[in-house]
């Protein structure tokens, strides 16, 4: 009898079926982790946008507004003489991230204080699927970890 080299068709089919079963078992968990990471990344980005708006207001000695709607965050600057300049627009819609907030806009004065909030705090919730994360901005313009 001659010596065989290689695998039979049955052996290859069994390996592919087992690999497919393992992928199907791990896929929901992997998708869940991806959603969680996307929401966490959106939270980090919102905090960075707020910090950028705050530092811009202090550096330029001007009022800056952070506009928050369900799909994007826009940073605008008040120009002396009554104009408004858009500093940055961050769109969260392509990633499927939804934003909800207790304040549609946060105005930051030249000292870095969120004047539109008074003594209250603004809560921004980023969500996708079953995952959500929250950013709390105090009336003094500080991001409070939760």
Q: Are strands 83-91 and 131-137 parallel, antiparallel or unpaired?
A: unpaired
Say yes or no to pLDDT of 76 above 80.
yes
4 falls within a domain: no
Q: Are 54 and 46 in contact (CB under 8 A)?
A: no
Cβ atoms within 10 A of the Cβ of 53, count? 27
pLDDT digits (tens, 9 = 90+) for 96-145: 999 999 988 999 999 988 887 776 888 999 999 999 999 999 888 888 86
3 falls within a domain: no
2 falls within a domain: no
43 falls within a domain: yes
31 falls within a domain: yes
Here the CATH number for the domain that contains residue 126 is 3.55.40.10
Q: Show the tokens assigned to 11.
A: 């052996």
Q: Are 16 and 9 in contact (CB under 8 A)?
A: no
H-type alpha helices, 7-142: 9-60
Domain of residue 22 covers: 9-144
- Number of structural domains found in the chain: 1
Q: Report the Cα–Cα distance between both ends of the chain, in Å, rounded.
A: 72
Among the listed residues 120, 142, 126, the one whose alpha carbon sits nearest the alpha carbon of residue 40 = 126
pTM: 0.80
Q: Show the tokens assigned to 80.
A: 């002396």
Q: How confident is the model at residue 2 (pLDDT cuts 50, 70, 90)?
A: low
Order of all β-strands in the sheet with 122-128: 98-101, 122-128, 131-137, 143-144
1 falls within a domain: no
- The full length of the chain comes to 146
């Amino acid at each position: 009898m001659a010596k065989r080299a290689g695998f039979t068709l049955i052996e290859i089919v069994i390996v592919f079926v087992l690999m497919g079963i393992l992928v199907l078992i791990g896929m929901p968990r992997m998708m869940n982790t991806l959603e969680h990471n996307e929401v966490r990344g959106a939270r980090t980005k919102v905090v960075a946008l707020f910090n950028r708006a705050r530092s811009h207001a202090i550096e330029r000695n001007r009022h800056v507004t952070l506009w928050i709607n369900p799909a994007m965050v826009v940073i605008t600057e008040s120009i002396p003489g009554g104009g408004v300049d858009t500093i940055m627009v961050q769109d969260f819609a392509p990633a499927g991230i939804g934003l909800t907030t207790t304040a549609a806009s946060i105005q930051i004065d030249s000292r870095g204080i969120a004047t539109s909030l008074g003594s209250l705090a603004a809560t921004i919730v980023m969500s996708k699927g079953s995952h959500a994360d929250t950013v709390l901005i105090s009336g003094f313009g500080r991001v409070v970890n939760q």
